[in-house]
Amino acid sequence: MWSAMAEGDRPLRADAERNRRRLLDAARVLFSERGLEVGVAEIAQRAKVGRGTLFRNFATKEDLIAAVVVDRMADASARGRELLEGEDPTEALFEFLSDLVGRQQLDRALIQAVADEFLANPEIRAANDELVAVLDELLLHAQDAGGVRRDVGALDVLMLFKGVCEAMRSFQHLDPNVAERHLDLVRSALAPREHEQPLRGRIPTLDDLEPARAR
Amino acid sequence: MWSAMAEGDRPLRADAERNRRRLLDAARVLFSERGLEVGVAEIAQRAKVGRGTLFRNFATKEDLIAAVVVDRMADASARGRELLEGEDPTEALFEFLSDLVGRQQLDRALIQAVADEFLANPEIRAANDELVAVLDELLLHAQDAGGVRRDVGALDVLMLFKGVCEAMRSFQHLDPNVAERHLDLVRSALAPREHEQPLRGRIPTLDDLEPARAR
């Protein structure tokens, strides 16, 4: 019985899943190439699905953008999980950060577009929490391997990461490698050191963000 | 003769200078308290000058905002020059950065308001170059004192500084001391270290920014 139902459902679900995937991919590519003003009709056309299918999947363009954000975050988390399997935990952490920086050019516009509902949207929030959790694991592994100082948490690393992204935007005309140079400085900031003053404040956690999230 | 002219001119020039100063101070306070949408009439009122005096000094509100930006930059540079006289060159550098971070809440809105003409405006550009020159001197002194690594330049420090400002905006609900914690990490990034990988890229200079400035 279960088997019969599953067989009956599978083609339909697989089809629906494929259409959704195509729409997300088309949206990502078009947004990346030409910005968020690309119309949904063109996205449906490129995805080779009808407008009815588009609207069944994403009632508004905002829904589509939010889904692309969730998809991009899930993709980054998956990359982080792959890196967790690598041999050198410290390299894995910095490769993850470098990968995140590379994604920013598109992601920034997307995330700005959903900024108002960012943490109020449960799917974005879950994808964001998963990304922080992956970063947390990569960081712990790197700390256990002695490659990163003990007195920092994932949100400290994210803070530094946001700095790299901002510097990249401000100084991108300076040198295409400005992000790499800044990531090297971040790496220095995070390197374990003897005889160092402790950082002011304490290690921030996701719970500390709750007041901001509740706004 | 020169003496007679100077004496004749002085009260007028001093008066004009005082009015200009009052307008700049009133604009800074009101912009800071209520944002850039404060009207020029209210600024003139607070400065206790007539609207005619306001318009003689600043033909448009944009001119007034640009003048406030130049004034704020000159003030930061003056603070930097003071710090150059201090005893500990490394502390002086980080105190300067901390001071700059503290100024950001107002300065960011101001600088965004003039972003389009930022480097095309010769006065803003000169004030900006002076600020970078002061930072450069503070950095060189700290490097000579052995407190900062040799392979970074003022623009590298500015890159890190922009990161702190961005993190402060993103994580300000986390902890009011988030800027201090991040500045401590910047300090670690800049600390001299043995056996360290060199940074990728080379030390950027203001000349490298020229293509961006010419746009």
Interface ipTM: 0.80
> What pTM was computed for the model?
0.83
List the single residue in B188, B201, B209 with the smallest CB-CB distance to A181: B201
Residue A213 clears pLDDT 60, i.e. is over it: no
Distance (Å, whole) CA B185 – CA A160? 8
Q: What is the mean pLDDT of residues A45-71?
A: 94
| A/B interface, count of CB pairs below 8 Å | 127
Contacts 24+ apart (CB under 8 A), A122-128: A123/A66, A123/A67, A123/A70, A124/A66, A124/A69, A124/A70, A124/A73, A125/A213, A127/A69, A127/A70, A127/A73, A127/A74, A127/A77, A128/A73
Burial of A175 from C-beta contacts in 10 A (0-12 / 13-18 / 19+) = middle
Contact call for B178 and A204, based on CB within 8 A: yes
Picking from B181, B190, B196, the nearest residue to A199 by CB comes out as B181
pLDDT band at B212 (very low <50, low <70, confident <90, very high): low
Looking at residue A96, its pLDDT comes to 97
Question: A166 and B171: CB-CB below 8 Å?
Answer: no
Q: Return the exposure string of B50-65: e unless at least 16 CB atoms fall within 10 Å of the residue's CB, then b.
A: eeebbeebbeebeebb
- Pairwise CB contact (< 8 Å): B180 & A201: yes
Question: Quick one: pLDDT at residue A169?
Answer: 76
The rounded distance, in Å, linking the Cα atoms of A80 and A127 is 13
Mean pLDDT on B112-118 = 74
Select the residue of A170, A185, A191 nearest B162 (Cβ to Cβ): A170
Look at A26-40, B35-49, B61-75, B156-170 and tell me which has the smallest mean pLDDT: B156-170
